[in-house]
Amino acid sequence: MVSRVIPVECFDLVIFGGTGDLARRKILPGLFRRFCSGQMPPEAQIIGAARSELDDDGYRQFVREAVQEFGGTHYEKDQLDQFLQRLGYETVDAKGEGGWEALKGRLRDKVVRAFYFSVGPSLFGDIAERLRSFGLANEDSRIVLEKPFGHDLETARALNATLAQHFDETQIYRIDHYLGKETVQNLMAVRFGNMLFEPLWNAQYVDHIQITVAETVSVEGRGGYYDKSGAMRDMVQNHLMQLLCLIAMEPPAKFDPDAVRDEKLKVIRALDPVEPHHVVRGQYSADEKQAGYRVHAENPRSRTESFVAMKVHVSNWRWAGTPFYLRTGKQLRARASEIAVVFKDAPHSIFGEEAGRHRNVLSIRLQPNEGMTLGVTIKEPGPGGMRLIDVPLDMSFAEALGPDGEDAPDAYERLIMDVIRGNQTLFMRGDEVEAAWAWTDPIIASWVARNDVPKPYDAGSSGPEDALMLMHRDGRRWREIKA
């Protein structure tokens, strides 16, 4: 059962890019689920704002279809009709003057105002500026920004500076939807709500940590965009970095947005520069069933990586000597995201060599089947003597969240509710984003300087052979990528 739902304050939410793919697949169906759960107050208002010429009814029809396709099945028809009554639409040009006054006319006083920028980043500055110049934003308004947040340190800094001209940092919510996942928040609960783990959470007891975000999708259809970015910018600089921070950070003094984000920032700043031989880049090849990366990217000479694996060190007292291995890629064997904390061997086995060597692994699964498993070693039941086996202590919560986890709030809906509540804990602060780029930029620059060519790998594999070697050289191995 999902816990008690407490409604948020009444709000007006404007979605710039309200007719786009993200709004259709994630934001609007997510808001509908929050409406059905009672968390979105019945008087709240959602206004789509985009370039398309639509009226309120046209937008309601668009949203009806989006909900029918992506909103799950656990709702009554009446609920959808009621939700649609909370919607409106204004044709607005982010770069022009049209539509802004009409949009302003729809906003109410004394309710929370939030503006979701679900548009390309090149429009962020224009929208922020017009929200101020047309008087739509007040001191309490919030803006929500989608990734990518910059292309490198320079562009991220410029974007932060532009936003800062119009909004205070306390009003800016930079989304990394990985932070909205149930397991990610649970990671903090497990670490800081229990006595059990924290004493062991350091280089003395942890052998290494693996963070894997594996996707089965290719870049087909968005190859043009992806080819300018690559796995390092698209996944490592933001999502994997955020996961690394939550695993590695010191306990904040309290669960408060700046206390948490201060600790995450310290982790990023403690990252060592990465040695070139500690990074493996890959690009998926063609096979008999489908074209390879370069065809999907429409760039026959592309040197952009669709896979990256790396060994990273956090240079501080807690983690000195414990490597973090990160890997992410497209067209891999399964869609699976996992953080694995691999503890060291017991210092001495009293059971003899034949009992085998066993290690405790805490596995934190982000998808599919969100949950955690702690592998512990026990005696194999039965009269067969003292033989040891590993069994999982399963802390999976997918079942507790309803059939197929369908009642579980999606990361986006959870984060949007946090925006309305004014809670920035799970959003990236400007200095965090800049620090992450400051670490990422030299890695990318060194590839460019060396003319580095990514290693080919088969679709449906776990990445290039060299990525396996990255671990084998250290006497370790990657965990299997499985759904």
- Binding ligand NAD by CB under 6 A: which of 93, 129, 431, 458? 93
* Helical H segments across 134-227, by residue range: 153-166, 182-193, 223-227
Q: Tell me the C-alpha distance between 71 and 80, whole Å.
A: 10
Q: At what angle do helices 28-37 and 77-85 cross, to 10 degrees?
A: 110
Residue 173 CB, nearest approach to ligand NAD (Å):
14
H or E element in which residue 364 lies: strand 361-367
**Does residue number 118 form part of the binding site for ligand NAD (CB under 6 A)?**
yes
On whether 17 is known to bind a ligand per the annotation, the reply is yes
Residue with smaller CB distance to ligand NAD, 67 or 314: 67
Q: Residue number with the shortest CB distance to ligand NAD?
A: 20
Q: Tell me the C-alpha distance between 262 and 424, whole Å.
A: 12
- Annotated active-site residue 278? The verdict is no
SS3 391: strand
Residue range at the interface with ligand NAD (CB under 6 A); choices 20-28, 60-68, 178-186, 235-243? 20-28
Residue with smaller CB distance to ligand NAD, 22 or 295: 22
Residue 125 CB, nearest approach to ligand NAD (Å):
12
- Binding ligand NAD by CB under 6 A: which of 38, 120, 385, 442? 120
Q: Which of 53, 118, 56 is nearest to 92 (CA)?
A: 53
On whether 181 is known to bind a ligand per the annotation, the reply is yes
Give residues 270-289 in contact with ligand NAD (rule: CB under 6 A).
none
Give residues 385-414 in contact with ligand NAD (rule: CB under 6 A).
none
On whether 177 is known to bind a ligand per the annotation, the reply is yes
Residue 98 CB, nearest approach to ligand NAD (Å):
9
- Binding ligand NAD by CB under 6 A: which of 28, 67, 107, 119? 119
Give me the amino acid identity at 36: C
Residue with smaller CB distance to ligand NAD, 121 or 402: 121
**Does residue number 22 form part of the binding site for ligand NAD (CB under 6 A)?**
yes
Residue 423 CB, nearest approach to ligand NAD (Å):
21
Complete DSSP assignment for 400-422: GGSGGGTTSPPHHHHHHHHHHHT
Q: Tell me the C-alpha distance between 143 and 166, whole Å.
A: 11
What are the contacts of 6-9 at 24+ separation with CB within 8 A? 6/39, 7/38, 7/39, 7/40, 7/41, 8/39, 8/40, 8/41, 8/112, 8/417, 8/420, 8/421, 9/41, 9/111, 9/112, 9/420, 9/421
Residue range at the interface with ligand NAD (CB under 6 A); choices 117-125, 192-200, 230-238, 413-421? 117-125
**Does residue number 222 form part of the binding site for ligand NAD (CB under 6 A)?**
no
Site map (CB under 6 A) of ligand NAD, residues 47-86, x = contact? ---xxx----------------------------------
Residue 469 CB, nearest approach to ligand NAD (Å):
32
Residue 221 CB, nearest approach to ligand NAD (Å):
11
- Binding ligand NAD by CB under 6 A: which of 67, 92, 213, 374? 92
Q: Which of 88, 395, 400, 440 is nearest to 233 (CA)?
A: 440
User: Which residue among 151, 166, 208, 239 is the active-site one?
Assistant: 239
Largest Cα–Cα distance of the chain, in whole Å? 81
Residue with smaller CB distance to ligand NAD, 21 or 394: 21
Q: Which of 119, 18, 21, 15 is nearest to 69 (CA)?
A: 21
Cβ-contact 323, 312 below 8 angstroms = yes
SS3 438: helix
Complete DSSP assignment for 271-297: BPPPPGGGEEEEEEPP-SSS--HHHHT
**Does residue number 29 form part of the binding site for ligand NAD (CB under 6 A)?**
no
On whether 215 is known to bind a ligand per the annotation, the reply is yes
**Does residue number 17 form part of the binding site for ligand NAD (CB under 6 A)?**
yes
Edge-first strand order for the sheet with 206-214 is: 388-394, 371-379, 361-367, 336-343, 206-214, 324-329, 307-312, 279-284, 455-457
| CA angle (231 as vertex; 366, 335 as ends), nearest 5 | 35
Give residues 140-179 in contact with ligand NAD (rule: CB under 6 A).
146-148
Q: Tell me the C-alpha distance between 28 and 18, whole Å.
A: 8
Residue range at the interface with ligand NAD (CB under 6 A); choices 5-13, 39-47, 88-96, 104-112? 88-96
Residue range at the interface with ligand NAD (CB under 6 A); choices 36-44, 115-123, 323-331, 363-371? 115-123
Residue with smaller CB distance to ligand NAD, 132 or 476: 132
Site map (CB under 6 A) of ligand NAD, residues 442-461, x = contact? --------------------
| CA angle (117 as vertex; 116, 121 as ends), nearest 5 | 160
Could you tell me how many residues of this chain bind ligand NAD (CB under 6 A)? 22
DSSP label of 90:
E
Kind of pairing, strands 45-50 and 172-174? unpaired
Residue ranges of the annotated binding site for substrate are: 177, 181, 215, 234, 330
Interface contacts to ligand NAD, rule CB under 6 A: 17-23, 50-52, 92-95, 118-121, 123, 146-148
Residue ranges of the annotated binding site are 17-24, 51, 147, 177, 181, 215, 234, 330
Residues with catalytic roles? 239
